[in-house]
Chains A and B, each alone.
Chain A
Amino acid sequence: MLDLTKEIQLEPIFRKKYIIARILLHVIFFIVAFFVLYNILFAVVTLDFSFENPILNKNTNLNPHISTGRELPKDGKFLANETLLDNASPIGEFSKASVTFSSTENNSAVENISVTINKSYQALRYPTGSPLGFKNGSLLTTPDGSYYMVSDGALRKFSNTDTIVKLGYPKSAFLEISKDDLKYNRIGNEINDTLSYPNDTIFAIGDTYFQLKDGRLFPFISVQAFLTQFDQTIAIAKSKDFFQTNPVAEKFIGFADGTLASYDVSVYILSKGKSYPIMNPETFLAMGFKWEDIIPINQNELGAYEKQKQFTHNDPHPDGTIFFDEKNEKYFLIENGKKLPITNQSIIKTYSKQKPVIINTEGLEKFSSCTLKKKLFNDGTFTCDIPLEDLNNFIGNDYQIKTTFPNATKLSTFSIKFSTPMTWNSMRNSLSKIKTKIINRQTL
């Protein structure tokens, strides 16, 4: 064995002790190295919450809440038939979730109750809103020869084709739809004034595109930003004289909400005038985004957005995100805490420039469960293990844990531990993911 201190000679008895101690040191070192490797290859994520100290820094579980919307009780007292929900978004693929509750009162209320878990994306759990209509600024035509424009959310019919010609709307920009498709937008006033334009009309003046709102022209921050929302053909070409009747607004219009943009080495989600830097590549992939959907932008374009705190895997997809359920061929748009179904193929075409996140709505309906049992030698603690293999096929990074207490009870702590078993399969999966991350990092 390599001896770094050869010049220090020990007496035979002590030399023997040194050799034994050295072997022990190496054994302990390899045990520690094994433990570190185990934590890397077989990920374990534990999320804890204390009902008695809900704002404690140590609480790694950030999202337990009551289904009725009642504020989480500070003393941990739950009413009868109250349902506790929790959303956890650990990164990784897990085979088991161990759920543990500790109770200080009425322990029988916790024993033998069922805990269920399902997997999807947080934003997909939003309540379903009304089906989405055509986008503002859309130009539409029906088989009966009628022409429409969507302005301020309302469908406005052009009184006649002369109006269209005099106002200068390009006929090629009108999207052919069926009469039935019109029902998704409320009906607005007819367009018969040839001297003024309805809101949301698009103009091209010089190299810049503008959208009209309340008599003012809002410029798009760049051509690239414009093209994430509309086609070039939709714009009415005007000269700079047009500014005399319609002054330019100071505020810029940016990219379509939900756009993934890169600047320097960071990737951002752009939504509602705000930019959210994505924490790391793992978060990016966990949220279902694709590298090829990223648009490189410049400092000016990014500067138009208000920079927010980092977007982590615990955050829901922001407004403007479009989800596509491949199996059922359904689209959803996330907007203001709701998921709005896009039920019509023609309407989808007006949002086609935005790349959807692929989802699987089946995940919302498929549950795994377990029954809480008293922990050995610990009267007040109840635990059970929920297998997650069946849920691994569903797309999403958010696990929702749900349990209903049939009787009133007082809870002290709640913890969920996501773990992976030490099997060859898990190890191969982990090594494969590490290899993919290295390749991704070198090619980005």
Chain B
Amino acid sequence: MFTRKITIEKNSLLIAYKLLHDLLLLMLVSFAGFLVIEGLLPGLLTSKISFSKIVIGIIIILASIVYLGKNFNITYQQAKIHTSKMLSGLVLFSFLLIGNSMLKFNFWENLVITLATLLILFLFYELIFSSKNK
């Protein structure tokens, strides 16, 4: 009976672990959608929902996933971000969001900001990935 109780508890926690992943995906997709809507119409959503609460919620879910994962000794292979299929999508999404916020600047200001940003991103990329490749 005791063993059965442990099995039920372990499986319940595993279910919770899997559900947390589903919830995380829903929250991240929602957050991305909110960013797009806020980019197009500032104030439309932030007047109804607090973004900080969504971010805190995502952090709590991540912390719970990490905690449960450690309990079950679940490990993941380190993701190769630079070869990930999602990277190009994420980069495009970031550029669209940032680009939308830069519409107010004139051409030369945009050019300077873009070049500076690309340079900084390139330096970060070299810093993070070149040390791993060595």
Chain A bound to chain B: yes
B-binding residues in A (CB < 8 A): 2-5, 8, 10-11, 14, 17-18, 21-22, 25-26, 29, 33, 36, 39-40, 265, 280, 282, 434, 437-438, 441-442
* B-side contacts of A26, CB under 8 Å: 22, 26
Residue in A10, A36, A437, A442 whose beta carbon sits within 8 Å of that of B15 in the complex: A10
Inter-chain contact B41/A441, CB cutoff 8 Å: yes
Chain A's closest residue to B44 (CB) is A40
Alpha-carbon distance A17/B16, docked complex (angstroms): 11
Query: How far is the CB of B76 from the nearest CB of chain A, in Å?
Result: 9
* A-side contacts of B23, CB under 8 Å: 25
Q: How many residues of B contact A (CB 8 A)?
A: 24
Chain B's closest residue to A2 (CB) is B25
Contact with A along B14-45 (1 / 0, CB 8 A): 11011101110110001000000000111111
Residue in A4, A11, A18 whose beta carbon sits within 8 Å of that of B25 in the complex: A4
Inter-chain contact B11/A280, CB cutoff 8 Å: no
Going nearest first, the 5 A-B pairs with the smallest beta carbon separation are A14-B11, A4-B21, A18-B15, A5-B18, A29-B26
Chain B's closest residue to A437 (CB) is B41
Alpha-carbon distance A4/B19, docked complex (angstroms): 10
Interface assignment of B49: CB less than 8 Å from any CB of chain A: yes
Inter-chain contact B14/A14, CB cutoff 8 Å: yes
Inter-chain contact A442/B103, CB cutoff 8 Å: yes
Alpha-carbon distance A340/B104, docked complex (angstroms): 40
Q: Is the interface of B mostly helix, strand, loop or mixed?
A: helix
Can you identify 11 A-B contacts, CB atoms within 8 angstroms?
A5-B17, A8-B17, A10-B14, A14-B11, A18-B15, A25-B23, A29-B26, A33-B30, A40-B48, A282-B43, A441-B42
Knowing A21-B19, A22-B22, say if A434 contacts B41 (CB, 8 Å).
yes
Interface centre among B15, B23, B30, B44 (most CB of A within 10 A): B15
* A-side contacts of B30, CB under 8 Å: 33
* A-side contacts of B74, CB under 8 Å: 8
Alpha-carbon distance A8/B71, docked complex (angstroms): 14
- Additional pairs, 8, CB under 8 Å, beyond known A25-B22, A434-B41, A442-B103: A8-B74, A10-B14, A14-B11, A14-B14, A22-B19, A280-B43, A437-B44, A438-B40
Alpha-carbon distance A14/B44, docked complex (angstroms): 41
Query: How far is the CB of A11 from the nearest CB of chain B, in Å?
Result: 6
Alpha-carbon distance A282/B22, docked complex (angstroms): 37
Chain B's closest residue to A442 (CB) is B103
* B-side contacts of A29, CB under 8 Å: 26
Chain A's closest residue to B34 (CB) is A36
Alpha-carbon distance A434/B26, docked complex (angstroms): 25
* B-side contacts of A8, CB under 8 Å: 14, 17-18, 74
A-binding residues in B (CB < 8 A): 11-12, 14-15, 17-19, 21-23, 25-26, 30, 40-45, 48-49, 74, 103-104
* A-side contacts of B45, CB under 8 Å: 36, 40
Knowing A40-B44, A434-B41, A441-B40, say if A25 contacts B19 (CB, 8 Å).
yes
Chain A's closest residue to B42 (CB) is A441
Chain A's closest residue to B30 (CB) is A33
Alpha-carbon distance A25/B103, docked complex (angstroms): 39
Chain A's closest residue to B72 (CB) is A8
* A-side contacts of B11, CB under 8 Å: 10-11, 14
Inter-chain contact B18/A36, CB cutoff 8 Å: no
Inter-chain contact A14/B41, CB cutoff 8 Å: no
* A-side contacts of B49, CB under 8 Å: 36
Inter-chain contact A17/B15, CB cutoff 8 Å: yes
Inter-chain contact A5/B21, CB cutoff 8 Å: yes
Inter-chain contact B21/A434, CB cutoff 8 Å: no
* A-side contacts of B42, CB under 8 Å: 441
Chain A's closest residue to B43 (CB) is A280
Inter-chain contact A265/B104, CB cutoff 8 Å: yes
Alpha-carbon distance A392/B40, docked complex (angstroms): 28
Inter-chain contact A434/B15, CB cutoff 8 Å: no
Alpha-carbon distance A14/B12, docked complex (angstroms): 8
Query: How far is the CB of B25 from the nearest CB of chain A, in Å?
Result: 6
Alpha-carbon distance A442/B30, docked complex (angstroms): 24
Query: How far is the CB of A69 from the nearest CB of chain B, in Å?
Result: 34
Alpha-carbon distance A5/B104, docked complex (angstroms): 43
* A-side contacts of B25, CB under 8 Å: 2, 4
* A-side contacts of B21, CB under 8 Å: 4-5
Chain A's closest residue to B11 (CB) is A14
Alpha-carbon distance A280/B43, docked complex (angstroms): 9
Interface centre among B14, B22, B74 (most CB of A within 10 A): B22
Alpha-carbon distance A441/B30, docked complex (angstroms): 23
Query: How far is the CB of B60 from the nearest CB of chain A, in Å?
Result: 16
Inter-chain contact B43/A18, CB cutoff 8 Å: no
Inter-chain contact A434/B14, CB cutoff 8 Å: no
* A-side contacts of B15, CB under 8 Å: 10, 14, 17-18, 21
* B-side contacts of A282, CB under 8 Å: 43
